[in-house]
Amino acid sequence: MTWGPTDQQQGYAAWPPSAAGYEPAPVPGNPTPRPVLRGWVITGLAIIGFGLGALVLGAYYGLTLGVLTSLFAIVLAAIPLTIVIPTFVWLDRYEAEPTKYLVAAFLWGALIAALLAGLLNTSAHVVFSTATDPEQAALATAVFSAPLVEEAAKGLLVVLVWRLRRREFDGITDGMVYAGIVAAGFAFTENIQYLGLAYVEGGEQMLTGVFIARCLVTPFAHPIFTVVFGIGVGVAASSRRGPIRVAAPLIGFVLAVLLHGIWNLAAVTGGQGLVAVFLLVEVPIFLAFIGLIVWARRREGRLIGRYLAPYADAGWLSPAEVHMLSRMGPRRAARVWARQTGGRAALASMRSFQDAASELALLRLRMHHSAADAHALETERRLLDTIVTRRREFTGAPY
C-alpha cells in the first residue's frame, strides 16, 4: 500500500463514525517462524559479542588491577548507576522502550564502546608519543582523541537503534534515553579502571578522592555529553527533511565532543582551572540538563494528549481517557483502579492499554510530519485493535 502525506496524516483517526461496536482483530501476535528465527540469531550474536567483550575486559582488569581490586572497583562503580539509570527510566515512563533494548544499550556502552575506545585511544596515544613527549601525548589523547572516539563509540548505538528499529524510536525523548543509558554503561566500565588504578597507585586516600569526584560529584558527565548527540538523532528521526536529518546528528555530535573535550582539558590540567570549569561550565550545564529532562517528559505528555485527540473525535477513545493518558498522575491512578477492581490481569491490561495509546500518539506524530515508515497504517490499525481489546479486558465488557 502506498499513500501520500494526507493519507498518513489522517489514517484511521479519520474514520467515521464512532468506533463503538468495532470488532478488533486478534491482538496476541502470531509471528511467522522467520521473524522468530531472526530474533534468535540476533540474540545469539548479541550474547556472543557481549560475552567476548566481557571476557576481554575481565582479563584486562584482572591482569592490570588484580581480581580483588577489580571486584571492589566494580562495586564502587555500580553506586552511581543507582542515580543515573533511574533518571532515564523516569524520563521513559510515557512510552517505555523495550527492556531488552535498554539492557543492550547499557551493555553496548559498558563492553563494546569501552573496548573500542580503549583500543583507539591507546593507538592514538602511541601515535602522539612518536611526535611529542609523554606529557603532551597524554594531553592530546585526552582532549582530542578521547572525546571523538568515545562519543562516536557511544553514539553509534543510538544511530543503530534509530536506523534498525525505527518503530521503537519516536524522537527526542527516545534519543535522550538511549544516549543516557549507553553513556551510563560506558561510565561504569571507565570508573572501574579509574577506581582500581587509584587504589593500586595511591591506596585508600586516592581511591576516596576519585570516588567522590567521579561517582558522587559528576556521575552525569558522560550521559550529558552523549544526550546532546541523542537529541540530534531524535530531531532527525522526527523529520523528513534531508538537510535536517543530516545536520541535526552532526551538530549534536560536534557539541557532545566539544563538551567532552572541555571537561577533559580541565581534568588533565587540574588545579584552579578544573574548579573554574566545574563551577562556571559544568554546574550550569548540569542544571540545564536536569531542566531538559523535566521538559522532555512534560513535552511527551503534551504530545500524547494532542495526537490522541483525533482518535477521541472519531470515537476510539473518550476525552477522559485522553486526559488520563497524557498525565502521569492519572495514569498511576488508573493502574491502581485496575488492580483494585480486576486484580493483576486487569492491571496488565491497563498497562498494555496505556503503552499502546502512547505508541499510537507518537506514531501519529510521525505520520503528521510524514516521517512514518511504509507500515504506518498497518501499525496504527494494530494499535487500535490492542486499545479496544485491552479496554474490554480491564472493564470486563463482553466481546
CA angle 217, 140, 287 (to 5 degrees): 25
Q: Cα–Cα distance between 115 and 150 in angstroms, integer? A: 10
Are 195 and 259 in a shared domain? yes
Radius of gyration of the chain from its Cα atoms, rounded to whole angstroms: 24
**Could you report the average pLDDT of every consecutive run of 10 residues in the chain (399 residues)?**
40 51 59 54 76 84 88 93 93 85 93 93 89 85 93 95 82 92 95 93 91 91 94 89 90 95 84 70 84 90 92 91 93 93 91 92 82 76 91 78
Tell me, yes or no, whether 211 lies in a domain: yes
Tell me, yes or no, whether 139 lies in a domain: yes
Q: Which of 224, 243, 269 is the last residue of a domain?
A: 269
Q: Cα–Cα distance between 369 and 149 in angstroms, integer? A: 33
- What is the pLDDT at residue 56? 87
Q: Cα–Cα distance between 257 and 280 in angstroms, integer? A: 18
Tell me, yes or no, whether 354 lies in a domain: yes
- What is the pLDDT at residue 1? 26
pTM: 0.83
Are 156 and 230 in a shared domain? yes
With b for 16 or more beta-carbon neighbours within 10 A and e for fewer, the 59-77 pattern comes to: eebeeebeeebbebbbebb
Print the domain residue range for 229: 34-269
Closest alpha carbon to 161 in 230, 94, 95, 219: 230
Are 327 and 241 in a shared domain? no
Are 259 and 138 in a shared domain? yes
> Hey, what's the torsion of the CAs at 12, 17, 20, 25, to 10 degrees?
-30
State how far Cα 149 lies from the chain centre.
Answer: 19
Tell me, yes or no, whether 7 lies in a domain: no
Are 103 and 242 in a shared domain? yes
Closest alpha carbon to 335 in 353, 313, 320, 317: 353
DSSP per-residue letters across 228-264: HHHHHHHHHHT---HHHHHHHHHHHHHHHHHHHHHHH
With b for 16 or more beta-carbon neighbours within 10 A and e for fewer, the 183-209 pattern comes to: bbbbbbbbbbbbbbbbbeeeeeeebee
C-alpha cell at 68: 580483588
Query: What is residue 66's three-state secondary structure?
Result: coil
Q: Cα–Cα distance between 257 and 151 in angstroms, integer? A: 6
Are 127 and 212 in a shared domain? yes
Are 230 and 160 in a shared domain? yes
Q: Cα–Cα distance between 18 and 315 in angstroms, integer? A: 4
Are 361 and 238 in a shared domain? no
Are 241 and 368 in a shared domain? no
- What is the pLDDT at residue 94? 84
- What is the pLDDT at residue 98? 85
**H or E element, residue 121:** helix 114-131
- What is the pLDDT at residue 52? 82
Are 60 and 199 in a shared domain? yes
- What is the pLDDT at residue 32? 45
- What is the pLDDT at residue 373? 66
Q: Cα–Cα distance between 234 and 189 in angstroms, integer? A: 26
32: left (phi over 0), alpha (psi -120 to 50) or beta: beta
- What is the pLDDT at residue 112? 93
Tell me, yes or no, whether 312 lies in a domain: yes
Are 263 and 318 in a shared domain? no
Tell me, yes or no, whether 345 lies in a domain: yes
Query: Is there a contact between 135 and 125 (Cβ–Cβ < 8 Å)?
Result: no
Are 310 and 263 in a shared domain? no
Total count of domains within the chain = 2
Q: Which of 269, 293, 314 is the last residue of a domain?
A: 269
Tell me, yes or no, whether 142 lies in a domain: yes
Query: Is there a contact between 105 and 365 (Cβ–Cβ < 8 Å)?
Result: no
Tell me, yes or no, whether 1 lies in a domain: no
Q: Which of 226, 253, 269 is the last residue of a domain?
A: 269
